[in-house]
Structure 1
Amino acid sequence: MNNKIHNHKYLEGYRKELRKNSTSAEATLWTFLQKKKLKGRKFRRQHSIKNYIVDFYCASEKLIIELDGAYHLNFDQQNYDRERTKVLENLGFKVIRFENKLVFKDSANVLEEISNHFND
């Protein structure tokens, strides 16, 4: 892992705070991803890349998963999210996004979509 862009020390406290206060959608998805439950892939939650903290990150796949609640429907937030995704993709990461409600309504499909991005 390249420490120049991953988990900057100055974001450590904020990352811990986000993990401690995760949304219900994040907590639910984490139950499926933790401990290599999804096809043996290791995921981290609230991992930082550059100045961004991503919801979930799988280093072996260079895959970022973002969960979006109502807050992300705001026009300014959507523009920020788009710019952030572009920066992360330019660094070689694949970013996929799901609405929070999908995690609850159709978790099987969410997990399948995540798996579809694995390099098997």
Structure 2
Amino acid sequence: MRGNATDAECKLWQRLRAGQLNGLKFRRQHPIPPYIVDFFCGDAGLAIELDGSQHGDEADAARTRFLESKGLRVLRFWDNDVLLNTDAVLEAMLNAVGDRTLTPPPLPAGEGL
């Protein structure tokens, strides 16, 4: 599937590869059976999907629900947004990672050790 990447996938990959986005490691065309997500950052629990004219709302919604049930945050961007507003897409991705709690909140008083 990498050989058949869309222009938007190629453009975004050039900005994500080799930890260019805040040191985050992304994989492209990453399997999360039964699906393959366009881009995946395991450390951030983030799946990125690029949508073009071939996507259907119901199928995309089911796919998103499945991925979220696996504890992943799913961001969807239109191909045109990636091609025309790449920096805004990257900023949205950074904001999503920044919103994610990486450490558990403290336990209420009287619980734990």
TM-score in terms of structure 2 length: 0.84
Q: Specify the code of the residue in structure 1 equivalent to 2:6.
A: T
Q: Aligned Cα RMSD in Å?
A: 1.0
Do structure 1's residue 38 and structure 2's residue 26 form an aligned pair?
A: no
Contact 1:61–1:119 (8 Å) recurs in 2? no
SS for the counterpart of 2:96 is coil
Report the counterpart of residue 80 of structure 2 in structure 1. Answer: 101
The Cα offsets for residues 65-89 of structure 1, whole Å up to 9 and x where unpaired, read as: 00001112xxxx2101101100110
Number of residues paired by the alignment? 99
TM-score (normalizing by structure 1): 0.80
Q: What is the match of residue 5 of structure 2?
A: 22
Measure, in 1, the Cα distance between the counterparts of 2:4 and 2:18: 20
Q: What runs of 5+ residues in structure 1 fail to find an aligned partner?
A: 1-17
Q: Would you tell me which structure has more helix in proportion to its own residues? A: 1
1:49-108 residue CA offsets vs partner (Å, 9 max, x unmatched)? 021000000000010000001112xxxx21011011001101100000000000111111
Letter of the structure 1 residue corresponding to residue 96 of structure 2: H
User: Share of identical aligned residues, percent?
Assistant: 45
1:101 is aligned with what amino acid? N
After superposition, residues 1-120 of structure 1 pair within 5 angstroms as 18-72=1-55, 77-119=56-98
Larger radius of gyration: 2
Structure 2 unaligned blocks of 5 or more: 100-113
Residue type at the aligned position of 1:40: G
